[in-house]
Every structure is written in C-alpha cells, then in structure tokens.
Structure 1
C-alpha cells in the first residue's frame, strides 16, 4: 500500500541524489554542445517582454560586475538552461521523494536526464521560454501537494499565472487544474481554502506580470488589451469565489450555482470584449501538432506521457484517502497535458516532465520483476522493452547514427 511520507521539504539526501544526476547530465550536455558554446547562444523567438527573460537577465546582472558584460551574457546563456534543468529535476523528484520513495526520486531525475523533449528545451545556450513552462507546471503540482491549504493555493496560483504569462498555449492544462480545484471544493468544503487562495494568487500575480510587461507612455496594443480582459475575468472569478467561500457552509447545489455564475460572468466579459483581444490570440502560433514530428521526436512526446498516464492511474487504484485523490487529480492534469500536446507541440515537454514521477514508480516495479527472471533471454527482452518505454525514439537515434557511419565509410566513397 502506498502512503504519504511527511518529510522535510528539501532534505539533504534528496539534494544529494538529484545533484549527482544533474552534475553528470550537465557535463554530458556541455560536451555534446561544445560547438554551440563556441558559436554563441541560440535565441528563442523574439516576443518583446517575457517573464522567462528575467532569470537570465538577473544572472547576467550579477555576473557582469565581476566578468564583464560579454562574458556574463555568455555564461548566463550557458548556465541558465542547466540551472532550469536542475530545478525541474528537483521539483519532479520532490514529488516522488514525498509520495513514492527514495529510489523513485533518483529514477525520476534519471528519467528527466534521458528525456529528449526536456533536454532539447533545456540545452546549453538555448534561450527561449519553453523550459520555464516545465518549472511552472511542476510548481503548481508541488503547491497542490502541500497540506497547508492557503500556502499551497498561493504557490499553485502563482505558478499558473507565470505559466500563462509565458505561454498562452498553457490554458488547457490550467483549465483542467481549475476544474479539479472546483471539484475538490464540491466534495469537501474544507478544500475551498485551496481553491480561493489559488484564484486570488492567480489574479494578483497576473496583474503584477501584466503591468510589468506594459511599457510606460506607449499605446495599448491588442495583446495588452487581451491581458486586461484576462485580468477582468480573473478579478470577477476571484470576487465571486471569495464571497462564496465566506458564505460557507452551503448546500452543494448552491455552490455549483455560484461556480456557474462565475463562469457565465467570465464568458460574458470575454464575448463583449472579443473584438479587442481575439485578433492577438488568433495570431499566436504554435510549433504544430505532435503528428507533424512523427516518427522521430513525436514518439517521445506521445508514448512516454501515455505510459506515465497509465502508471498514474495504477497509482491511484493502489492508494487510499488523500493519496488516491491526489493521484486521480494528477492523472487528469497529465491527461490534459497529453491531449493538449497532440495539437500544441510545446506542451509535449511539460507532459514528459509530469510523467516522470509515475513513470519512475512503474520502472522500479518493472526492474523488480526483471530481477526475478531466471532465464537470460526473457530478461534481456524485458530490459529492451523498458528502454524503449523510457526512450521510444532510441531506435530512430541508433538507425540515424548507423546510417551516418555507413555513409562516411571509405567503402562507399
């Protein structure tokens, strides 16, 4: 039976386990990308002010007085993706550490270390906004894990506000989390504190990010108008849910009516203001659907999260009480990320990161079964199957490498 282990938030053993994996992966990535390090940073798409640009800018500002602006910028472009990878490993492994076990935490970090979508987005010198989406999603999950309702709600809401500020394509997963928080409230009125804190945090942080992104003295652009509409909807929902929480205890039917009132009000605000914000939203482009990347990267983006989703459902079926509800919610969030990634490829890396903890639990179960096999042949086939589950694009990589070597052979020159 799976049980929650209430431990210190970031114990030394967890930091040591994740740190060892991170150092090894950093050394490997720096070796692989040495040519890119010499040529310079790979910049992401220009999008004006971006919240994701703040951490590299802060790191450059700290290093510039010591090393000079040019070296500081280069060092920031190399270090920030690696630090982001370390943060993703730590936040993901923390879920496994608290809810699954020590070995699962290490396996979670290792799974991220071999995840092609994660490593592509967090390669050294790659400066774009996709990597920080993973941190925001994991921050929301860790907030929902906390047993202190208001603090957990504020962490989750702030993480989701940052995620939406970074990418408009995050809305399907954010909508799924909002629906889960509302469902929790309907099932247990004590959960209202988490839902209200999350929506209040979402509103406050969204307002802060919006006003920070707005240049002084310039005309309001369609994108800025969309941000104001977004703030209006959030403020309306936050006010309605705050009042509803103050009126508790209420019958579930009245709570559901209050939710409907908040949703309908938000829809009316969106429809009335559609001419101002719809053009900027329609202009937002994505990286394309997952099937456009088949059969190479698309396999990793689709198969790994799907196996993680099955593992999460198994975890929910074997758990009890609070853990059962948490893993059910986790399955819904992971399923929403996987479904969104079918049409919006950017969410695929987020789905891979979210799949890591349940996939680590499943991999450990597979390894235990493999160790009990006495015949070498079935054991070898089982290990190959596990490798393909964790790295579905491995055959493509091997075939590509073998083909390159054949073409370079003197025999065919």
Structure 2
C-alpha cells in the first residue's frame, strides 16, 4: 500500500477527489505570474484596446454618481454624449475592486490594480468549467491536461490577461459553463447550467448569441431523441427565460429599452421568453413518439423564427443597424470583423489549427464513448467546435471561442495518444514521441510553424504604423496633452477618443461604437473632406483643438480614401491659416493646433 502511495497512486486520487482545490491553486499560480510579468503595463495603465479604455470610463462614471441605467459617455461627442450599448454586469467586479483598494492606496493605484486583477476572475471560472467538462467525459484526473492546453490557446488567453477588462473574458467563461452543462449527466442541473450561462452571456452582450442558439438547439434535440430528457429541457427553458428577464430588468440601460437589435433589448428578450415558454410547453406534452417530438420542435422553431421575422424585420440584416456609408467607411475596416483568410498566415494559422484538432478529438471520443450521455455530449461538443470553426470564415473574432471549444476534444485526443507513447518499450519513443504527440494534439506546434515558415510578405509601413499606435496611446504621450492644455475638447481620431478621456482631463469627439454613427462619420468627413468643411463640423462639438497622430492606423485610412483631403493636406504640411500650432516637446508623437473660428 505504501509503495502505491509513492508510485503515484495517491497523486492520481488527489487530483481526482480534490480537483477543484488544485484547480484554484493552479489559477492562483497563473494569476500571480501574469500580475508579475505584466506589472509594468499594469502600473502604467496600458489599456491597449479602445473597449478596455471605455470600460474603465464606464466604471469611473458609475463610481462618480452617474445613474445605474445611464450608460452614455458624456466626455465624448459633447454636449450630448455617446450612447454605449453595453451592460453594467461586467462593471461590477472592476468597481468592487476599486472600492476595496481605494482606502488603502488611493484611486489611481486602485484603478490599476482593479484593471490588472479583474480579467483573472473569468479565467478561474473558465478553468474550473473546462476541468469539470473533461472530468465528466474523459477521466477524473484529466483536468490538468485541459488547463495546459488552454494555456496554449493564444487567442483565448488574450481575453484573460491583466488589463483586458472588457466583456469578452466573461462571455468565454459563460461559454465554458455552457459546455460543462451540456456534458452534465444530471439532467436538471445540466439544463439549468446551460440556461443560466446563456442568459448571463446575452445580458453581457450578443457576441455569442449564435453559440447560445446552438446550445438551445442541442438541448432540444436531446429531448427529441430521448423523451427522458424532459427535466433537462424544462430546467433550460425556465432558466433561460427567467435569467434573461432578470438580466434585462437589472442591467439593461435606458437606451436598451428601444427596439434595437444589438443588445438584450425587448427584441431579444421577447425571443428568449417565447422560446422558454414554448420549450416548457413541449416538455409538458412530451409525446412518446420521437417523430411527434420532432414535429412539435419543428413547429416551435418555425413559430419563433416566423414571429421574429414578422415582428422585427429590422433585425434580419445587420444587427448593428448602421448605414451602408458607415459600414463601408468604418465597420468594414475593423480588423477583427474580417474573415480569417484575409489575415496573415502568422495570425490565422495558430487560431485555426486547434479547432480542427478539437473536432477530430471530439469525433474520436464519441466513437469511444462508454455511455449514451457521453456520446451525446461529445457529438454536441463536436458540433459546437465545428460551428465555431466555420464562424472563422465570417469573422476572425470567433477565434477565442473556437479555441476554447476545442480544448475538450484536444484533451481527449491527448489522453489517448500520449499514454501510448509513454508506454512504448523504447526510451527515445517514450521521450521524443510523447513530447511530439502532445505538441501536435495540443496545437502548440503551430507556434513553431509560423516562426520558421515565412509565407507572409510584410507591408513596408506596418512597423511605422505599429510604432505610431503605441506612442500615441502611451501614458507618456497622453501626459503631455494633460500638462500642455487646460481641460478642452479635442477633435481627434475615432480610435484615440477612448484613450484620450481615460488618461487626460480632455473631451473627445467619437469612439468606435456603432450606435454613434453621426460622430464617427463626422470625424471621417472632417478628415477626408475639403479643408473648409472641417470647421463647421468641429464647431458642432465645441472643439477647441485639433489633435492628430501621424501614421496612426486610422490616419492611413483617411489618406488612402482621399489623398488630397483635409488630413492628406495636413500630412503634406499644408496647414490652413485658421489652425494655430501648439508647441509640444520635440519628441511628442502628436501634432496639435488651436482651431480659430470666424468671429460673428
């Protein structure tokens, strides 16, 4: 007995029985390493994404007394402000951390710590949910392998790093919980998990709406195939409808009471409630015939789809509800909204590899399933992963979800393949073969491929643009603007707006948020139009200064669209007389002018 303890038997038992304790310990180690490794960025509040900057501004506004249901950002597009279609749900952990740290170290450092720590919470939820999934479907001790593979999911892990405070990490955590619910053999608990995680995801935002719909379809099809699944579909139906209603009542902003298609508004709330009621009604009927259940499910699906099309025809096109001009001018240029094949090999290949492996792994695991519940769960995960992989052909922003969903399938494949090599009689095969097999089935080999296989031709100005983006967004650059001017309204690039209001006392004009079509188009019209058209637009917002970042990515769009437009002429040194230069330090990344208006 003692020999078994020292030979690893007790370790396996410990990992199986106390898996959650060890998962939390692993999360703590990973979180600690992230905080140590990125402390410089945290201390400099280096929020690199516009959405992360805007999220912090939303939290600041809440803590400064702005209404719970008022999510307008009043320091952009003055005087009325910009409508932000988000939910307060993601603001809560950030605000709570700021309130905890503030008495001990002051507001600035409390904000930095909150932005560094908050993204690590959904990572912990995701690790636990994936561990639960592979324990249920593969083996009780398989969860460490899933966590290791998750750590190699580059696109997914970027959503959990310190300072990534926007909602994507929490939505991925909801998706991981949904998969755990689909894998749950206890029907009522599994349905409840899927319903509540879907409702929470929809409350946060609609980015994962297709995945929520697929999860609901899987729950329904399980009931169609097996009438004994009635408790699962009942729990799912009630929790989806009830959770969405609660999420809307507590977290929907005043603006989201309009019949919009881009958030959990009355449009999508009516869909979730109707879907829940219809599914619950079907479960009460629960005919014995599989064909009858399929017919009822088809009628319910047709009723929901037909009702949606009839009542909300405006939502059958772009959910953002933007004009063709805004789509072509701005939204079509958003990199993450482009399909994977329009990105470089170095970016696309590592993202696409793991979903393919995950699909293969889920298929193999389904063929080896020991129970009907495991078979259905693996089929569901395989379909989920295949759907996410197909979404990459639409937008590369599906990459984090696609990699996350591939983890269970990749773990199953590794659980089968790696032990075969470890048990081989030849030492070189055991060492080299097992290492190579893990690199292959985990998708980690993709990093070596893109490192040594050069198939992309780098654009000559890419480094220049990247340097300009970094310098203009930096805390050092922003501090120059804070010190050089009294609080003012600066007319500047759309992508610079959120960072400007976070790091300075100034106001901006626009941010990259689709509900603010007029402000975004005004900025583009001002920079691409004739010089004489600029001042009337700037006057509308009360702008006192013009701020540009030469070679910033957005500025290349202006120059490409209208080389002789206002920005194009500024870039060539043709500055109109009504722009008065403002002296900045020689190494400043910006150019700044005071706007002189005609006196009337």
1:387 aligns with 2:414: no
Contact residue 129 and residue 166 of structure 1 kept, 8 A: yes
The residue number in structure 2 matching 1:89 is 127
For 1:312-391, list aligned pairs within 5 A.
Answer: 312-321=362-371, 322-371=373-422, 372=424, 374=426, 376=428, 380=432, 383-384=435-436, 386-390=438-442, 391=444
Q: Which has the higher helix share?
A: 1
1:180-225 CA-to-partner distances (Å, cap 9, x unmatched) read 2122111211212212321221122222222334445997363489
Match 1:49 to one of 69, 79, 86: 86
Residues in 2 aligned to 1:224 and 1:359: alpha-carbon distance in whole angstroms:
33
Which segment drifts farther, 161-170 or 388-397?
388-397
Compute the displacement of 1:331 (Å): 1.3
Compute the displacement of 1:352 (Å): 1.5
Compute the displacement of 1:124 (Å): 0.8
Relative to 1, partners in 2 of residues 1:118 and 1:189: Cα closer, same or farther, differing over 3 Å? same
Relative to 1, partners in 2 of residues 1:15 and 1:214: Cα closer, same or farther, differing over 3 Å? closer
1:239-281 CA-to-partner distances (Å, cap 9, x unmatched) read 2222222223343333233222222222222222335545761
1:88-112 CA-to-partner distances (Å, cap 9, x unmatched) read 1121112223332354211111111
Which segment drifts farther, 231-240 or 19-28?
19-28
**What residue ranges of structure 1 are gaps of 5+ in the alignment?**
1-7, 401-413
Residues in 2 aligned to 1:183 and 1:279: alpha-carbon distance in whole angstroms:
27
Residues in 1 aligned to 2:412 and 2:255: alpha-carbon distance in whole angstroms:
53
The residue number in structure 2 matching 1:288 is 338
Match 2:177 to one of 113, 135, 139: 139
Compute the displacement of 1:54 (Å): 2.9
Relative to 1, partners in 2 of residues 1:68 and 1:355: Cα closer, same or farther, differing over 3 Å? same
1:18 aligns with 2:23: yes
Residues in 1 aligned to 2:187 and 2:225: alpha-carbon distance in whole angstroms:
15
Relative to 1, partners in 2 of residues 1:250 and 1:215: Cα closer, same or farther, differing over 3 Å? same
Secondary structure of 1:310 counterpart:
helix
Contact residue 44 and residue 129 of structure 1 kept, 8 A: no
Compute the displacement of 1:304 (Å): 0.8
Residues in 2 aligned to 1:346 and 1:383: alpha-carbon distance in whole angstroms:
31
Compute the displacement of 1:303 (Å): 0.7
Residues in 2 aligned to 1:159 and 1:201: alpha-carbon distance in whole angstroms:
9
1:310 aligns with 2:360: yes
Contact residue 282 and residue 296 of structure 2 kept, 8 A: yes
Structure index of larger Rg: 2
Compute the displacement of 1:355 (Å): 1.9
Match 1:261 to one of 294, 299, 318: 299
Match 1:206 to one of 231, 244, 248: 244
Contact residue 225 and residue 276 of structure 1 kept, 8 A: no
Residues in 2 aligned to 1:274 and 1:70: alpha-carbon distance in whole angstroms:
45
Compute the displacement of 1:378 (Å): 9.3
TM-score, length-scaled by structure 1: 0.83
Relative to 1, partners in 2 of residues 1:44 and 1:393: Cα closer, same or farther, differing over 3 Å? farther
Residues in 2 aligned to 1:377 and 1:187: alpha-carbon distance in whole angstroms:
44
Residues in 2 aligned to 1:36 and 1:182: alpha-carbon distance in whole angstroms:
46
TM-score, length-scaled by structure 2: 0.59
Residues in 2 aligned to 1:99 and 1:277: alpha-carbon distance in whole angstroms:
38
The residue number in structure 1 matching 2:201 is 163
Relative to 1, partners in 2 of residues 1:220 and 1:177: Cα closer, same or farther, differing over 3 Å? closer
Relative to 1, partners in 2 of residues 1:217 and 1:354: Cα closer, same or farther, differing over 3 Å? closer
Relative to 1, partners in 2 of residues 1:168 and 1:162: Cα closer, same or farther, differing over 3 Å? same
Contact residue 261 and residue 320 of structure 2 kept, 8 A: no
Residues in 2 aligned to 1:375 and 1:363: alpha-carbon distance in whole angstroms:
19
Residues in 1 aligned to 2:199 and 2:185: alpha-carbon distance in whole angstroms:
21
Compute the displacement of 1:65 (Å): 4.4
Contact residue 172 and residue 340 of structure 1 kept, 8 A: no
Relative to 1, partners in 2 of residues 1:214 and 1:162: Cα closer, same or farther, differing over 3 Å? closer
Which segment drifts farther, 91-100 or 299-308?
91-100
Secondary structure of 2:393 counterpart:
helix
1:148-177 CA-to-partner distances (Å, cap 9, x unmatched) read 323321221111122233342323322322
**What residue ranges of structure 2 are gaps of 5+ in the alignment?**
1-12, 55-83, 323-330, 454-600
Contact residue 153 and residue 197 of structure 1 kept, 8 A: yes
Compute the displacement of 1:283 (Å): 4.2
Contact residue 414 and residue 441 of structure 2 kept, 8 A: no
Secondary structure of 1:169 counterpart:
coil
Contact residue 316 and residue 327 of structure 1 kept, 8 A: yes
1:129 aligns with 2:182: no
Residues in 2 aligned to 1:137 and 1:217: alpha-carbon distance in whole angstroms:
26
Which segment drifts farther, 65-74 or 114-123?
65-74
Relative to 1, partners in 2 of residues 1:219 and 1:25: Cα closer, same or farther, differing over 3 Å? closer
Count of paired positions: 392
Contact residue 226 and residue 278 of structure 1 kept, 8 A: no
Residues in 2 aligned to 1:28 and 1:219: alpha-carbon distance in whole angstroms:
42
Structural RMSD (CA): 3.1
Relative to 1, partners in 2 of residues 1:52 and 1:339: Cα closer, same or farther, differing over 3 Å? farther
Residues in 2 aligned to 1:174 and 1:12: alpha-carbon distance in whole angstroms:
31
